[in-house]
Structure 1
Amino acid sequence: MKITEIKQLLTEDDVSESDLTMLSLDSRVGVQKLLASYYKRKAKFAEKKLAFNNRFFYEKKYWSKKKIVAGVDEVGRGPLAGPVVTAAVILDDSFDLIEVNDSKKLSGTKRLELYPLILQKAVSVAIGIKSAQVIDQINIYEADRLAMADAVKGLDLKPDALLVDAMNVPINLPQERLIRGDAKSNSIAAASIIAKVFRDQLMEDYHHIYPEYHFNCNAGYGTKDHIAALQKYGPTPIHRKTFAPVSDFYK
């Protein structure tokens, strides 16, 4: 085989053992480099798949008892503007998107790629949102909890239990609080991706209403450009009045 043909062959996921044996006997340096690269890619995939399966540890405890469990996560506690957004996601043992992980570990491009796939493959997905006005009225922590409850209530199926990233949801269901849960549970990780992409799109839409603040770039967080715009133009209706330095405009 020509090296170009071998290169094409080794892009496939499952190369036959007979072909691999044949290539291992090929003395050409270029062929051996391609073979080494193939094995390295396969080992990396196997490692990623093992980590993915391990992130079903908590879900499997419920699945073994024929119970439905939902993962819950949030995004947007720290920004100066915009809502807090939460998501609740129910997965089953057929879920096979091994690249699903803590949204903070993924690029924006990868999150956008995974978002519709999660919606397609998950058993149920729901969103909860609390506005800047609600955050100002009851504080960000309580607004976050209520948004999580809304997300859970919005699911097509009622879960038997919740896996929550470091929070307690004010809803009458058994729940496990997992510190850094989005790195420990695929259900929470999927929820983190859904919430992040959904909120980023909301802030993209707000950018078209308030272009001076560049919400499409900062998602409402207190970047240097955002603070400069705030000082020049003052707060918008979606700014959180109780968050400094926005609160300085209301003294």
Structure 2
Amino acid sequence: MFSVSPIKAFRDNYIWLITLADNQALVVDPGDAAPVIAVLEERALTLKGILLTHHHSDHAGGIAALKARAAGMAQSLTVYGPTQSKHSDHGCQDGERIAIPLADNSSLGDSKPGDTAADTLTLQVLEVPGHTLDHLAFVIDDALFCGDTLFSGGCGRLFEGTACELYQSLQKFAALPDTTRVFCAHEYTAANLKFALAAEPDNAALTEYAAEVDKLCAMGIPSLPSTLGRERAINPFLRTNSPTIRHSVGDRFQKTIDSDLECFTLLRQWKDNF
């Protein structure tokens, strides 16, 4: 029903392009309009929707130009994003499910009588505060577009929310199936894995994955998407019950770690200064 490919932007951003039927497309977090427009024109795609995870400029900076372009071409373009965002045409709520029609004579919108799974794409919304207070994630089928909340081998910094909020947000992701593909917004994997190895040096899956990512980076190939199954196996922020990680964090902060949340909170502090 759809395919996903990366559009590189800035130093390490990925703007995810979701190609639908009839040469329609969505993009996720277009911080820069120029590379998006170039790909749309090269592939003769019509941009029908934008998924915005949060307000930071490297995610939202290209929206105004893309909306102006669509208006100039008399094309309908809907921005799905946080209710607080000035860019959002559709302010999204936690748990909301949005049906995206795939027929060429349809416009994006909410479910309507007569819609069927065969001609719609269902977008599930998750509110995931922590990195920012307005942060959203979007799930389409087996694809998770998580912005800056989860990275392969890591998680987002706490700019506005609390460690407890971010921990709870990551638990929403952890409840998804292992086969869920994880489309993060930055190529941070290699750097994250260096920290992950410091926290859990005896994790064989992590060691193997780090070597694989090093080879991909050397060839200029994206490390993403990951999968939730892989992240549960190697990502320290999803492994706060690991005895090795708890021991590493306890050694670092000279204390006994009594809970997953405490481990997560101190792990995030450690990573901030790694």
TM-score (normalizing by structure 2):
0.24
Which has a greater percent of strand? Answer: 2
Where relative contact order (Cα < 8 A, 6+ residues apart) is larger, the structure is 1
Which of the pair is proportionally richer in helix? 1
Whichever of the two has the greater Rg, that structure is 1
